[in-house]
A and B are shown apart, each in its own frame.
Chain A
């Protein structure tokens, strides 16, 4: 009586242990697969980028498919800063509104549409910029059109990360400020925004990194230029690093390839530094807040 039951038990146990091993093996394998792909990409970019790097890349402008990347580096910074300048005021205001004045039906609508806007492919935003600003308004390929396109991409990120950051400010602090007679503006700007500043800055920094890595929205709004920016807002195309990656790697010259690798190194290194920085800020601030950082990267087809 005992023996068959024991054998039955051990068969059952064996099956269970086998399933366990399969399960853990599969999940470890999945992680290894992703981790090694990540390392493969980073090693490729860094090795090829560093061998391609030269002083000329940093100090000269592009001439055709050779020269340097100074114009592209400058253009990337100009476009990304321009995009942030346009996106931060409305994004932060939206964050304040969603977090503090969420009373009527407007706030849920804004929140939902912001979440949907995160998912709109960046090429659609680029094409929207092309038909409205470049063609209809006659700005042509320009800093203005590129910055507005980047601003639309940054807006929902900044809006939602500031909302989450301001949500972390304890309710009691707000109520005390109101009880002391402070108005909406003062409670929002000198209490909530000041307390939530690390979170808001992290979100803004991540939006900046996204702007630096974008290509599709700029192709038909910013154009490309071999020269340094001459200060014109409209009717003057401008270069940027991600264009150099895309356009120069398909050229049949090793000099062009070197520029593409160097540009990829700059962009990847920059994005990596910002990611690590924001991860350190988020880890430093403990519970709840870490959701902000993870959130910002999710969503869009780029």
Chain B
């Protein structure tokens, strides 16, 4: 009896197979079975996915580490002056390298990127200044102003702005926007708004701070609009009904009840948009005028941003036989990388806590 029971159990164990484990020809089965059997060893499927998944995190860490290592001689040489000086000068390309602070550089070489930091921050500020109100308005219009049936198609039109590649924006800006702004809008603005600080003065050719800011606006608005519209739509219906029952009109419901409820989403998505504007490269490169070593005098002045400067200067930096120019460009990339990591981390933390709060209250 004992024997038969044990035998039966053993036989059952032998015969038992997972019903999913059929051996249909051509299925993934053999591979899957092998993957399943690996679970006895050190490497099981769970650890394999964790290991491969760590590559996502690893690539970010690798970017920071390798940029730091490569830029380190430049960081040692340039010191803190790098961020506050306003002279990017490769030095005399035909001179004999001299040794400064233990680093070989060309005679007369200086690396200071204040004009890049100012250009990057100002163009981003202009873009945010226009994009936040326009983004809120559009989100309100899409979420509350039109029937839900039309919403996907109208939203799609706006979200498509985010799908257009940066270089296509650059092309449009270069071919269409700059002649229009430079010949018509900017002289008009300088004439009628010239009494405001930074609005008057020479309007230049259309390349410059305001043009870059306007193109950046178009590129970051869909981020704000899409996030905010989703948040507005997902506000509880009861809130709207309560406001309506108190006698509020539709827009008062939006203004006094719904918008205050999504304040943190707005802040989070605006910071994300800031991060994107800070790092835009191709479009800004094609419309900003690529200024070198001077600060903008008014909003029409040509500028450079850190991202576009890396593209426009690498070719000439390669002429430096000591390699210090390329390392200093790596330092620019490192600064840009750290800024965007900080900005994006901040936005994600804010949005994360907002998400948690929503989960708790539901």
Contacts and interface: CB of A to CB of B under 8 A. Distances in A.
A275 B32 CA distance: 34
Contacts of A33: 134
A37 B180 CA distance: 14
A124 B158 CA distance: 27
Contacts of A45: 168, 171-172
A228 interface: no
A119 B341 contact: yes
Nearest to A35: B157
B167 A301 contact: no
A65 to B, nearest CB: 16
Interface in A97-118: 97-98, 100-101, 106, 109-110, 112-118
B100 interface: no
B135 to A, nearest CB: 8
Contacts of B218: 34, 37
A285 interface: no
Interface string A122-158: 1111011011100000000000000000001001100
Interface in B117-165: 133-138, 140-142, 145, 152, 154, 156-165
Contacts of B310: 123, 127
A183 B45 contact: yes
- Of B28, B52, B347, the most chain A CB neighbours within 10 A belong to B52
Contacts, number: 340
Contacts of A26: 133, 137
Contacts of A291: 230
A16 B28 contact: no
B264 interface: no
A47 to B, nearest CB: 11
A10 interface: no
Contact of B307 (A100, A123, A279): A123
A203 to B, nearest CB: 14
Contacts of B70: 131
A23 B254 contact: yes
A143 B321 CA distance: 27
A34 B138 CA distance: 8
The prevalent SS among residues of B at the interface is: helix
B23 interface: no
B353 to A, nearest CB: 13
The prevalent SS among residues of A at the interface is: helix
Contact of B52 (A48, A93, A302): A93
Interface stretch (A1-9, A66-74, A210-218, A229-237): A210-218
Contacts of A100: 49
Contacts of B174: 249-250
A44 B175 contact: yes
Contacts of B341: 116, 119-120
B11 to A, nearest CB: 17
A117 B59 contact: yes
A116 B53 contact: no
A124 B314 CA distance: 13
Contacts of B282: 215-216, 242, 246, 302
B167 A185 contact: no
Interface stretch (A55-63, A77-85, A265-273): A265-273
A128 B141 contact: no
Contacts of B169: 41
Given A24-B251, A298-B227, A110 B164 contact: no
Contact of A41 (B21, B172, B255): B172
- Of B18, B329, B343, the most chain A CB neighbours within 10 A belong to B18
A219 interface: yes
Contacts of A110: 53-54, 56-57
Contacts of A38: 157-158, 160-161
A100 B44 CA distance: 14
Contacts of B54: 94, 106, 110
B161 to A, nearest CB: 5
Contacts of A44: 172, 175-176
Contact of A115 (B252, B255, B311, B348): B348
Interface in B338-362: 340-341, 343-345, 347-348
Given A97-B52, A120-B337, A275-B156, 15 more contacts: A28-B141, A31-B137, A41-B164, A106-B50, A106-B53, A110-B53, A119-B275, A119-B340, A155-B56, A186-B21, A190-B32, A242-B165, A267-B165, A271-B164, A298-B226
Interface of B: 16, 18-21, 28, 32, 35-36, 39, 44-46, 48-57, 59-63, 66-67, 70, 133-138, 140-142, 145, 152, 154, 156-172, 174-176, 218, 221-223, 225-227, 230, 249-252, 254-255, 272, 275-282, 285-286, 307, 310-311, 314, 326, 329-330, 333, 336-337, 340-341, 343-345, 347-348
- A-B pairs, 6 with minimum CB distance: A301-B279, A121-B279, A213-B165, A30-B137, A94-B53, A119-B344
15 contacts: A26-B137, A30-B136, A35-B157, A38-B160, A113-B61, A116-B348, A123-B281, A131-B330, A182-B20, A185-B45, A188-B45, A242-B165, A299-B272, A301-B281, A301-B340
